[in-house]
Structure 1
């Protein structure tokens, strides 16, 4: 089977990928962390960075099943987080810290929201939370610090970036957003990006705790709104995003699961 080659041109100056050093972080992940990370990731055969951008030659897992069952994915995340709690940021000080790029994300949300709020497929609870976030995204980002101890977070733990092998093993792909953050941040994005609301409890039970979930949910919803904005009004994919954002709105309203 051929290898998977991932190339990235240099990020545009001032862009979110440039400010967060996303492409460079993934190269460093495969060079320094992947050999000891303790969870399944694609084997890396080359990891290069130069003036022309970055280049990774990775094990091709395209034959594996995309995504993971809600509980299985959550349990795999918990395994990652438990391995590195309290020490990932000390062993690799270059890991993205909390708050990195928060001003850029806040500006992007505030610019995107008026068009999103005018759509016909944004339900009332989802619109209400979005309105409250306008001008307060930085506050939401800073609330993450109250959610728990720092560990190694994947940063984009969605079904798109998980694969399930023939024997049920879960692999994590795409480490551009690897960071030092409370692990529950990965759980929140797993729920909002990838898990049907009626199955959220399965994922949370498998993760083992809901502590910190309310604290990270506003920031997670910001990413959900921005992703929903990429899909046409009334589309099936956008409707699914609204349903998950509505479940997150209900969680915030209750202050608990």
Structure 2
């Protein structure tokens, strides 16, 4: 029997949790996690019996009904990922204890493994080379097992080159870039502003290009969506699967490397990171994709950084930390675009 869908923290009662988790929950204490811009998230400390975990994370929809309806497709996509896609790939993700959605609405509930004491990455501070290495090897576990798998398009929300979405993105890119520049102008260099404007002009052809190589693409594979062991041990875990799509796999690779490391550190280590990712890909049986082709795709895909940052900032909820984060992501990825000659490849 399904426990059904609940959309508010007050409904996460011991009775509901007992049915959802298949054990006896005697008490549950909830504390909010995150800022609640896309949805709401709570950590529940549990007491009970029958294999009930000591704590879980529960994701619920946004409290605003209008936002909830607008994000319904993203919510459903994440539940499909955990239920149907995650078991077919090798990327490390939280275990899913329970998932339910109300059809044709933005109402859903997702009960996930609490990864504590792992710690969330910090997009502003960046990461170590060792953490970047761990993240790109884990990323290959998303891309490799279903590399160029045509059955991925059987999922309703996944399409390789959705023309309506790409054309709208290309149409909005120049004006969105100006919104971004106007909002964060004091945090941007003149050189980066010029690069952003050049990127906006190629979003259309860039989005359509290289579709002969495709896989599942996280779409926002960055430090704030990754969890790391505090002792430096390998085994990072990827979160937030609401932006999953099909596309050039190197978009995720370029995005995480380009936005996570300072330009100086990236220049020293990016060849090695791409090689580590490529070795991991081949371990999943990916063939006919040389290291040099992987490197060329990495250079080409660096547009992903400024594209996600400008749209995320321009149409998201502004905050001081968010402004610093987006400005840092843009500075790092625009430097990479110039260093790697990305725009000449489009």
Of residues 43, 59, 63, the one that matches 1:6 is: 59
**Pairwise CA distance, 1:135:** 5.0
2:309 maps to what in 1?
224
Q: Structure 2 length as normaliser, TM-score? A: 0.62
Q: Which moved more, 1:95-104 or 1:56-65?
A: 95-104
2:189 maps to what in 1?
123
| Conserved? CA contact 1:192–1:220, under 8 Å | yes
2:226 maps to what in 1?
162
Give structure 2 stretches of 5+ with no counterpart.
Answer: 1-53, 122-126, 279-293
**Pairwise CA distance, 1:32:** 0.9
Q: CA, structure 1 residues 40+249, in 2 after alignment: closer, same or farther (shift >3 Å)? A: closer
**Pairwise CA distance, 1:236:** 4.7
Aligned partner of residue 3 in structure 1, secondary structure: strand
| Conserved? CA contact 1:159–1:190, under 8 Å | yes
Q: CA, structure 1 residues 96+125, in 2 after alignment: closer, same or farther (shift >3 Å)? A: farther
Q: What do you get for the CA RMSD once the two structures are aligned?
A: 3.0
Of residues 46, 49, 55, the one that matches 2:101 is: 49
| Conserved? CA contact 1:154–1:175, under 8 Å | yes
Larger radius of gyration: 2
- Whether 1:245 aligns to 2:333 is yes
| Conserved? CA contact 2:218–2:252, under 8 Å | yes
| Conserved? CA contact 1:141–1:219, under 8 Å | no
Q: CA, structure 1 residues 114+251, in 2 after alignment: closer, same or farther (shift >3 Å)? A: same
**Pairwise CA distance, 1:127:** 1.6
2:204 maps to what in 1?
138
Task: State the number of aligned residues.
Answer: 249
Q: CA, structure 1 residues 222+244, in 2 after alignment: closer, same or farther (shift >3 Å)? A: same
2:166 maps to what in 1?
102
Aligned partner of residue 78 in structure 2, secondary structure: helix
Aligned partner of residue 97 in structure 1, secondary structure: coil
**Pairwise CA distance, 1:97:** 2.0
1:82 maps to what in 2?
144
1:187 maps to what in 2?
253
2:154 maps to what in 1?
93
C-alpha separation between the residues in 2 aligned to 1:11 and 1:213? 38
- Considering Cα pairs closer than 8 Å and 6+ residues apart, tell me whether 1 or 2 has the greater RCO: 1
Q: Which moved more, 1:73-82 or 1:190-199?
A: 190-199
**Pairwise CA distance, 1:11:** 6.7
**Pairwise CA distance, 1:44:** 0.7
| Conserved? CA contact 2:255–2:305, under 8 Å | yes
Q: Which moved more, 1:244-253 or 1:181-190?
A: 244-253
Q: Structure 1 length as normaliser, TM-score? A: 0.81
**Pairwise CA distance, 1:144:** 5.0
1:35 maps to what in 2?
87
| Conserved? CA contact 2:79–2:110, under 8 Å | yes
CA deviation digits over 1:101-122, x for unaligned, max 9?
A: 3244345433332243341332
| Conserved? CA contact 1:81–1:183, under 8 Å | yes
Aligned partner of residue 7 in structure 1, secondary structure: strand
Give structure 1 stretches of 5+ with no counterpart.
Answer: none
